């Protein structure tokens, strides 16, 4: 009886079980939001382990195995076109940190791959497998012969550009050995992986980190300067690639975790998958991007116009675009995301438990983009009309780029609409602008990569252990100086006036994290004092104090006492606990979908971003503020405790998106379960210590996120006291009781508007009274009647425009030009108007205004019938008007 093909989840389970049985600690996947400041996302399975592989942070275990979620969008344009390109993928990996090396890594990989399925392996036929090694790595080649019995022709040696790993900067490096599956002659030419043909699919890469590389550029241009003291193994097996091979389907998009979305896209569009290549590509794009977006949002990424949010927004919009090309112009996300949720929830249950929030974000983004497409089409239609009116056949590249970059309007949609209108698009100009944008992004990434390379200065310091934070219970802690860094270099001492980084064994000073700003304070010791400018965590487990030496000299191994500014810490604790209070109040009023998506707090101030797609009414803001202050009044007990992560979540503690949590977490309860969150910040001991919350603003930070800002404690009181003083002053000035001020002010505003209307009417009448005198001054200038006069000083350009257009109308249908100048707000302004007969004779207002403005020392222009200019030299008004007469031949 034929058994069912291995599911993706089963392949994952077999991999992890295999390595658990061989002494590996199984660790959970890290978030898609990478800790590495040079990366937007976790782009490879090795990213979470870089600090261990480079020696920056001591590894917690000698051997590890995991299944890591990854996002990679560099090849986004290839999605759907090849059998293996996907933006979200899962990398199975086994890791050795100074434990086993090449032989064991090769043995493990071969054993798992070739052990029959009924014996717990993956059941690959050894005859279908090829391997590559680095061309000079005879050791690995020998192990493949010994362990796997592979013939030499199926062990191919390749160069540094493909089979050598490094971070791209000086540091660990080493040869790779890759395992490929041969799909057979029906899929391409013979010759093995060296042919770089799609017939051979890479399924596993074994990296042997054994050397230290020096400076260099590119993948191959660097030298090896020595061996590492500890040799590491980093492997990665592409789960989706193994799944599509084991499930007997043609590509990545047809496996069990992806195909349901593809089928739903086919059902909605009425298209048959497999009937048309272009439609197939679009359905694959939909299947891939919906799954990727689902996983990103489950890790707390929200759509926005920058960074990670921009990548998510691009995935969602490409999905809408693909469905549009499949003939569907209505909303499809409710159906598509539900399919992806059901396909992924067995492995990632959070996509189901958090689906209300995820779907709210996705559906709102789709609605917004459908409206964007409508407005973008209007902008494009105008550009098409203007292009045609100018007698051109090509739409400008900068117009296409503006639509793409500013409005999120896809270039392929621009091409399609332009083609329907009989126009082409200047792709070379568009591509040049895109290349310029990408070049800037790459330069920024390279700069960040160089910056992270400098983190190696912390390696030895981190090797001495984690910095102990004592500030939860102490405001002053005696310790010793472990290290001093000046300008990125470790030094033995820092002198008066210098700015340096100080690493202590213990510290009471809070490092900026979890939305809470760093503490203020000092570090003191025998004969020296240091003003603390900032406190950060440059690498996991290490706290660095940026200081200025204000007195004396500090050296490594000196005794050092960290002293927290008590007033500042009190304010910071109030603000952080206040953030939790407002978050709980928001959820009480708006519901569980109003989930915190970011925060910042410091002494006296807090801001909180939350997922929501519409502004809060004044009544809602007042309700949230009242609930928050009632919680403060009720003097709720604040309890902090450390618990295993799973136990904390079981208690209902909220994990905030974008935050990283270890196996043991700190839970902060305010009023028991009323507010229960995972948080490493500092907090008050009871809610009454917060004092007061005063919401000062509520605003948008994107189509699906809002922001509230609040003053806290004494700062909240001072703000309200200032408002009280203003109200008292108004009440006294207007001789009106406080409660009647709004009505009194409204009456005054209404009276002022009525008076302004009357004044405007009088001024307009006064302006128009000048028309007869101007008409009398009309004379000939070439083929037209011309009125060119200095109107003196006027209140606004609108007055001058009214005068010009009225005179033009009174001059009748014969060719006529009116050019009037005036001083408006201490600056000269000239306005020129022409009638149709004058324009037919060649008189253009825009050109005349531009010439006059240049005489005034400025610039101007406009349409052929009405144009305006200005300058800085009011004494040149008569000369400017003369230039108009001269231009007309007068």
Binding-site residues sit at: 576, 580, 679, 683
Torsion of CA 513, 515, 517, 519, to 10 degrees: -60
Q: Where are the beta strands (DSSP E) in 779-883?
A: 779-781, 784-794, 816-824, 827-834, 859-862, 866-870
3-state helix, strand, coil in the chain (%, to 5): 45, 25, 30
Q: How far apart are CA 556 and CA 504, in angstroms?
A: 10
* Helix, coil or strand: residue 340: helix
The string of DSSP letters for 184-236 reads -GGGS-SS-GGG--TTEEEEEEEEEEEEEEEEEETTTEEEEEEEEEEEEEEEE
- The H or E element that residue 521 is part of is strand 521-525
Structure tokens at 611: 């997922």
Q: Which of 172, 161, 269 is nearest to 221 (CA)?
A: 161
Q: In whole angstroms, give the CA distance from residue 699 to residue 604.
A: 20
Q: Which helix (H) or strand (E) holds 655?
A: none
d(CA 580, CA 400): 45
Residue 522 CB-density burial (10 A; 0-12 exposed, 13-18 middle, 19+ buried): middle
| Coil, helix or strand at residue 463 | coil
Q: Which is it for strands 605-611 and 675-678: parallel, antiparallel or unpaired?
A: unpaired
β-pairing verdict for 129-134 and 155-158: parallel
Q: What is d(CA 494, CA 500) in angstroms, rounded to the nearest whole number?
A: 7
3-state DSSP call for residue 666? strand
Query: In whole angstroms, what is the distance from residue 320 CA to residue 289 CA?
Result: 10
Across the beta sheet with 638-644, the strand order is: 638-644, 664-670, 675-678
| Tokens describing residue 854 | 């240049």
Q: Are 39 and 62 in contact (CB under 8 A)?
A: no
Reported residue count of the chain is 890
Based on its alpha-carbon atoms, the radius of gyration of the chain, rounded to whole angstroms, reads: 35
Distance CA(470)–CA(271), nearest Å, equals 63
Reduce the DSSP state of residue 291 to 3 states and report it: helix
8 A C-beta contact, residue 851 and residue 883: yes
Output the known binding site for Zn(2+): 576, 580, 679, 683
Identify whether the C-beta of residue 45 lies closer than 8 Å to the C-beta of residue 91. Answer: yes
Residue 847 sits at the vertex; the CA angle it makes with 845 and 848, to the nearest 5 degrees, is 65
**What is d(CA 41, CA 74) in angstroms, rounded to the nearest whole number?**
12
Structure tokens at 272: 């048959």
């Amino acid at each position: 009886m034929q058994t069912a093909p291995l599911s993706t989840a089963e392949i994952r389970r077999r991999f992890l079980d295999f390595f658990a049985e061989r002494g590996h600690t199984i660790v959970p996947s890290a978030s898609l939001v990478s800790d590495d400041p040079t990366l937007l996302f976790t782009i490879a399975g090795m990213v979470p382990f870089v600090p261990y592989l480079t020696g920056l942070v001591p590894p917690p275990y000698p051997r590890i195995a995991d299944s890591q979620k990854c996002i990679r969008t560099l090849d986004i344009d290839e999605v759907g076109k090849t059998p293996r390109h996907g933006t979200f993928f899962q990398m199975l990996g086994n890791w050795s940190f100074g434990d086993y090396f090449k032989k064991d890594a090769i043995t493990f990989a071969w054993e798992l791959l070739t052990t029959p399925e009924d014996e717990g392996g993956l059941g690959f036929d050894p005859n279908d497998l090829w391997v590559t090694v680095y061309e000079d790595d005879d050791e690995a080649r020998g192990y493949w012969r010994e362990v796997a019995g592979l013939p030499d022709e199926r062990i191919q040696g390749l160069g540094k550009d493909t089979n050598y790993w490094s971070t791209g900067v000086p540091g660990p490096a080493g040869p790779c050995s890759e395992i490929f599956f041969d799909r057979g002659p029906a899929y391409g030419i013979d010759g093995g992986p060296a042919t770089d043909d799609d017939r051979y699919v890479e399924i596993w890469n074994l990296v042997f980190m054994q050397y230290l590389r020096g400076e260099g550029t590119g993948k191959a241009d660097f030298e090896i300067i020595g061996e590492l003291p500890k040799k590491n193994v980093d492997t990665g097996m592409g789960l989706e690639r193994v799944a599509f091979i084991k499930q007997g389907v043609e590509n990545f998009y047809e496996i069990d975790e992806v195909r349901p979305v593809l089928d739903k896209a086919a059902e909605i569009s009425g298209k048959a998958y497999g009937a048309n290549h272009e439609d197939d590509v679009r359905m694959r794009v939909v299947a891939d991007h919906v799954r990727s977006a689902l996983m990103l949002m489950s890790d707390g990424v929200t759509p926005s116009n920058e960074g990670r949010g921009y990548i998510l927004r691009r995935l969602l919009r490409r999905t809408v675009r693909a469905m549009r090309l499949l003939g569907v112009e209505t909303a499809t996300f409710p159906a598509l995301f539900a399919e992806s949720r059901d396909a992924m929830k067995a492995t990632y249950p959070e996509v189901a438990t958090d689906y209300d929030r995820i779907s709210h974000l996705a559906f709102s983004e789709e609605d917004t983009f459908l409206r964007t497409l409508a407005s973008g089409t209007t902008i494009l239609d105008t550009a098409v009309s203007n292009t045609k009116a100018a007698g051109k056949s090509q739409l400008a590249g900068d117009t296409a780029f503006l639509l793409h970059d500013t409005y999120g309007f896809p270039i392929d949609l621009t091409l399609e609409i332009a083609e329907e209108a009989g126009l082409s698009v200047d792709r070379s100009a568009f591509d040049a602008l895109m290349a310029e944008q990408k070049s800037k992004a790459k330069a920024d990434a390279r700069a960040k990569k160089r910056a992270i390379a400098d983190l190696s200065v912390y390696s030895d310091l981190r090797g001495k252990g984690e910095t102990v934070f004592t500030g939860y219970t102490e405001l002053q802690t005696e310790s010793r100086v472990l290290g001093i860094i000046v300008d990125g270099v470790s030094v033995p001492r820092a002198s008066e006036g210098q700015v340096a980084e100080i690493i202590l064994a213990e510290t009471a000073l809070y490092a900026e994290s979890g939305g809470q700003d760093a503490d203020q304070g000092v570090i003191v010791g025998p004969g020296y004092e240091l003003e603390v400018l900032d406190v950060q965590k440059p690498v996991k487990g290490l706290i660095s104090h940026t200081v200025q030496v204000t007195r004396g000299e500090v050296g490594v191994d000196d005794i050092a006492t960290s002293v927290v500014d008590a007033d500042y810490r009190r304010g910071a604790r109030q603000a952080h606990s206040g953030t939790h209070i407002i978050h709980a109040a928001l959820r009480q009023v708006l519901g569980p979908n109003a989930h915190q998506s970011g925060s910042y707090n410091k002494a006296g101030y807090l801001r909180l971003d939350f997922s929501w797609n519409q502004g809060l009414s004044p009544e809602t803001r007042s309700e949230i503020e009242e609930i928050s202050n009632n919680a403060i009044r009720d003097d709720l007990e604040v309890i902090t405790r450390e618990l295993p992560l799973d136990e904390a979540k079981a208690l209902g503690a909220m994990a905030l998106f974008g935050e990283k949590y270890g196996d043991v977490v700190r839970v902060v309860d305010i009023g028991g379960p009323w507010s229960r969150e995972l948080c490493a910040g500092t907090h008050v001991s009871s809610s009454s210590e917060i004092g007061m919350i005063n919401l000062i603003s509520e605003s948008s930070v994107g189509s699906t996120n809002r922001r509230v800002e609040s003053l806290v404690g004494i700062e909240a009181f001072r703000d309200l006291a200032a408002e009280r003083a203003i109200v008292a002053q108004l009440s006294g000035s207007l001789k009106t009781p406080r409660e009647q001020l709004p009505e009194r002010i409204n009456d005054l505003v209404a009276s002022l508007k009525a008076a302004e209307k009357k004044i405007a009417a009088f001024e307009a009448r006064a302006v128009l009274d000048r028309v007869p005198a101007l008409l009398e001054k009309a004379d000939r200038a070439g083929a037209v009647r011309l009125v060119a006069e200095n109107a003196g000083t006027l209140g606004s350009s609108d007055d001058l425009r009214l005068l010009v257009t009225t005179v033009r109308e009174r001059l009748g249908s014969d060719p006529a030009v009116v050019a009037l100048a005036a001083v408006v707000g201490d600056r000269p302004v000239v306005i020129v108007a022409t009638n149709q007969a004058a324009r037919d004779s060649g008189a253009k207002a825009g050109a005349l205004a531009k010439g006059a403005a240049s005489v005034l020392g400025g610039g101007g222009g406009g349409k052929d019938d009405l144009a305006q200019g200005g300058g800085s030299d009011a004494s040149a008004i008569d000369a400017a008007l003369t230039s108009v007469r001269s231009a007309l031949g007068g």
